[in-house]
Amino acid sequence: MSYIQRLANEHNSIAFGREELAYYARHLLLPGIGLEGQQKLKCARVLVVGAGGLGCPALQALAGSGVGSICIMDGDAVAGSNLSRQWLHTYRTIGQNKALSAQAALEAINPFIQVSAYPEMLDHSNAEQKIAGCDIVIDATDELEVRYLIDDYCAALDRPWVHAALYRESAQMTVFWSRFGASFRKLYPVPSVAPSCSASGLLGASASIVGNLQALEAIKLITGHGAPEVGTLCSLKTGNYPFERFHFDGSPPTQYSSPVQDSDSVPRAVSPIELKQALSIHKPLTILDLRKDSADRLPRAAHCSEASLLEGGLSNFETDQILLVCEEGLMSEMLAHALHGIEPRVHYLKGGMRAWREL
């Protein structure tokens, strides 16, 4: 089964507690992420090979985004010269294995995810097992042999992987996925040797940009929000920021639609007519208007921001029904879906205030 199908089938079973909803509050407000995207992130399993200059920012972004299972592989120890660009490590962790150091840092960033650390580099003895246990691989190593190894096993196991390389102020990034014809071995049939950062120099800020781009590609692959750069080589000069894209092969994957949810597991869309009837008989109802400084509030409605609902919850409201209202109905619907798992009383006004005015 494709990881896309697995995420589509399993994400509905993910429920978030109040603290976790507050942690992801700003993600849930994004139309391209919302509750469904956050659930898919929680279901996802990402392997990051290398916890150095590219791995550290990629890992930090993946942990903050809420990827539920992160696996880190790195056989090197933290050195003082790493600290200017590998920001998950500190002076206190000098001498420790990088994978273990990064694991401790990520667990402090996000207590709601699982982080596994393997103090070894990917090789022929462990590649199949480690890659088979993940959905997506991020290449954060500067070892050419390891990249060919990732490409071979990801092709055999039908896994996409996000590649990046950085030399001084020049960087490249792409997504390889053999299913769509995009292959590292096809793009680079003849191995070539590039100088390491220890020999050529590197700014931590440059590595951070590229590592975060890798994390964004993984998030695209997981959530379906945005087209991943499958078969497109992105070239970036961090000194003056020209960004070029070269299509070499492949096409972006198609996201599977999610299974239909049980009607009891989702909030109800209350029509303007239903709301008018409920108000006419003075039905006990809490109406929360998400709009700020609006002059045309509904009777009995109170303003409440999206962030305060996600962070504070709805326990202060005692009525059996809570109705969320916004201008077009989109924000209230998305927020109601995000909160419904822990607060089944919450529903939303279909079409928002625009539909109400048209009554």
The CATH superfamily assigned to 3-247 is NAD(P)-binding Rossmann-like Domain (3.40.50.720)
Tokens 């202060």 -> residue = 316
Per-residue confidence (pLDDT) for residue 260, from 0 to 100: 45
**Closest Cα to residue 268, out of 281, 280, 285?**
285
Catalytic annotation present for 197: yes
pTM: 0.77
**Closest Cα to residue 102, out of 48, 141, 161?**
48
| pLDDT tens column, 194-238 | 655 555 667 788 889 999 999 999 999 999 888 888 988 888 887
Catalytic residue among 43, 134, 197, 234: 197
Based on DSSP, count helices (H) and strands (E) in the chain, helices before strands. Answer: 15, 13
* Cα–Cα dist 261/218, whole Å: 26
Q: Domain spans of the chain?
A: 3-247, 263-357
Positions of the chain with pLDDT under 70? 1, 193-201, 239-243, 249-265
Which CATH number is 263-357 given? 3.40.250.10
Crossing angle for the helix pair 34-43 and 3-10, to the nearest 10 degrees: 120
- 142 Cβ contact partners less than 8 Å away, ≥ 6 residues apart: 50, 52, 165, 194, 196, 197
Catalytic annotation present for 71: no
What's the Rg (C-alpha) of the chain?
23
Q: Which helix (H) or strand (E) holds 171?
A: strand 170-176
